[in-house]
Amino acid sequence: MRFKLTVVMIFLTAFFSFAQQGDDWFQGRPIRGIVFDGLINVSPSELEGITAPFLNQNFSDELFWDILGRLYALEYFETITPSAVMANAAGTEVLLRFAVVEQPTVSRIIFVGNRSIRRNALLDTILLAPNSVATQIRLRLDEQAIINRYHEGGFPDVMVRTDVQPSGGNTVAVTFHIEEGEMIAIESFHFEGNTNFPDRTLQRQLSLRTRGLFQAGAFHEASLIADRHAIAQFYQDRGFIDAHVVDVVQEVRRDARGNNLMSITFNIYEGQMFTFGGVHFTGNHIFSDAQLSALVQSRVGEPANVRRIQADLMRVSGLYFEHGYIFNMIEPVPHQDREAGTISFNVFIVERGRAHIENIVVRGNQRTHDEVILREIPLQVGDVFSQARVMDGLRNLHNLQFFSAISPETPPGSVDSLMDLIINVEEMPTIDLMFGFSFSGSADPDTFPVSAMAQWNDRNFLGSGNTVGFQLNASFDTQSVSALHTYRWLFGLPFSASFDLTLEHTRRRAAMNNSAPFFRGDEPFAFPDGFNSFEEFENAFRIPPDQYLMPYNQWRLSLGIGTGYRWNTFLGILGVGGGTRIGMLRNTFDNDLYRPFDPVLRERNNMWTPALSLWTSVSLDRRDIFFDPTRGYYAFQRISWHGFLPAEQEHYIRTDTRLQWFHTLVDLPVGENWNFRAVLGLHTGLSFIFSQPTFDRPHVLEINQLAVDGMFIGRGWTSEFRRKGFALWDNWAEIRIPLAPGIIAWDFFFDAAGIKRTPSSLFTEFFADDGSLADSETFFMRFSVGGGLRFTIPQFPFRFSLARRFLYRDGAIQWAPGGIGGSGWDFVVSFALTTF
Q: Are 77 and 71 in contact (CB under 8 A)?
A: yes
Q: For residues 22 and 11, what is the distance between their CA atoms, to the nearest angstrom?
A: 17
**Distance of alpha carbon 462 from alpha carbon 368, whole angstroms:** 8
Q: Is the pLDDT of residue 352 over 70?
A: yes
238 pLDDT band, cuts 50/70/90, is: very high
The pLDDT of residue 443 is above 60: no
Residue range 797-825, pLDDT digits in tens: 778 999 999 988 878 888 988 888 888 89
Does the pLDDT value for residue 742 go beyond 80?
Answer: no
- Strand 94-102, strand 31-37: pairing: parallel
| Topology, domain 275-350 | Ubiquitin-like (UB roll) (3.10.20)
Mean residue pLDDT across the chain = 86
Task: Please report the pLDDT score of residue 775 as a whole number.
Answer: 46
Residue 450 clears pLDDT 80, i.e. is over it:
no
Sequence-distant (≥ 6) Cβ neighbours of residue 195 within 8 angstroms: 270
Please count the other Cβ atoms lying within 10 Å of the Cβ belonging to residue 226: 14
pLDDT, mean of residues 573-597: 93
**Weakest-pLDDT range from 134-148, 324-338, 577-591, 783-797:** 783-797
- pLDDT at position 798 is 78
3-state secondary structure of 608: coil
What local confidence, expressed as pLDDT, does residue 483 receive?
A: 95
Residue 8 has a pLDDT of: 44
445 vs 275, which has greater pLDDT? 275
Residue with the bigger pLDDT between 767 and 163: it is 163
pLDDT of res. 135 = 81
Q: What mean pLDDT do residues 822-829 have?
A: 86
The lowest-confidence range among 381-390, 501-510, 520-529 is 520-529
pLDDT of residue 233: 93
Please say if the pLDDT value at position 439 is more than 60. no
Give the whole-angstrom CA distance, residue 374 versus residue 494.
12
Q: Is 526 helix (H, G, I), strand (E, B) or coil?
A: coil
**Interstrand relation of 184-192 and 260-269 (parallel, antiparallel or unpaired):** parallel
pLDDT given at position 440: 43
What pLDDT was estimated at residue 541? 61
Question: Closest Cα to residue 203, out of 218, 182, 186, 189?
Answer: 189
Q: Is the pLDDT of residue 298 over 80?
A: yes
Helices and strands, number each (H, E), in the chain: 14, 32
Q: State the pLDDT at residue 621.
A: 94
**Percent over 70 (pLDDT), the chain:** 92
Report how far residue 468's alpha carbon sits from residue 487's, in angstroms, rounded to the nearest whole number. Answer: 9
User: So what's the architecture of 431-831 in CATH?
Assistant: Beta Barrel (2.40)
Q: Which CATH class is domain 356-427?
A: alpha beta
CB 566 within 8 A of CB 595: no
Average pLDDT score over residue span 67-93: 85
How far, in Å, CA of 325 to CA of 490, rounded? 34
DSSP 706: B
Q: Are strands 342-350 and 356-363 parallel, antiparallel or unpaired?
A: unpaired
- Whether the CB-CB separation of 225 and 248 falls below 8 Å is answered with no
Strands (E) in 532-631, as ranges, are 549-569, 572-588, 609-621
Determine the pLDDT at residue 5. 42
Alpha helices (runs of H) in 210-261, residue ranges in sequence order: 221-236
Select from 3.10.20.310, 2.30.38.10, 2.130.10.10, 3.40.30.10 the CATH code of 2-102: 3.10.20.310
* DSSP 8-state code for residue 197: S
What is the rounded CA–CA span in Å between residue 49 and residue 46? 7
Mean pLDDT of 367-390: 90
Q: Is the pLDDT of residue 642 over 90?
A: yes
Quickly count: other Cβ atoms within 10 Å of residue 253's Cβ. Answer: 10
What is residue 601's predicted lDDT score, i.e. its pLDDT?
82
pLDDT given at position 767 = 66
pLDDT of residue 543: 74
pLDDT digits (tens, 9 = 90+) for 97-120: 999 888 888 889 999 999 888 898
Residues 654, 438: Cα–Cα separation, whole Å = 30
**Distance, CA of 349 to chain centre:** 40
Query: What pLDDT does 492 receive?
Result: 83
Mean pLDDT for 477-499 is 90
The residues with which 345 forms a beta bridge, in sequence order, are: 279, 334
Q: What pLDDT does residue 577 have?
A: 94
- Predicted local distance difference test score (pLDDT) of residue 223: 87
- CA–CA dist 81, 103 (Å, integer): 14
Please give the average per-residue pLDDT across 493-497, as a whole number: 90
pTM: 0.60
CB 528 within 8 A of CB 512: yes
The whole-number pLDDT of residue 768 equals 52
The closest alpha carbon to 173, from 215, 139, 144, belongs to: 139
Evaluate whether the domain defined by 184-269 bears CATH number 3.10.129.10: no
Residue 641 CA to residue 580 CA, distance in Å, equals 9
Average pLDDT over residues 690-709: 87
Are the folds of 2-102 and 431-831 the same? Answer: no
The full set of domain ranges for the chain reads 2-102, 105-179, 184-269, 275-350, 356-427, 431-831
Provide the 10 A C-beta neighbour count for residue 256.
5
DSSP 8-state class, residue 376: T
CATH of domain 105-179: 3.10.20.310
Smallest CA-to-CA distance from 245 within 188, 191, 323 is with: 191
pLDDT tier at 1, thresholds 50, 70, 90: very low
Q: Note the pLDDT tens digit of each residue in 652-674.
A: 999 999 999 999 998 877 655 67
pLDDT of residue 12: 46
Listed residue (216, 220, 208, 226) closest to 151, CA to CA: 220
Question: pLDDT of 251-290, one tens digit each?
Answer: 988 888 878 899 999 999 999 999 999 999 999 999 999 9
Using only C-alpha atoms, the chain has a radius of gyration, in whole angstroms, of 35
Contact 385, 318 (CB under 8 A): no
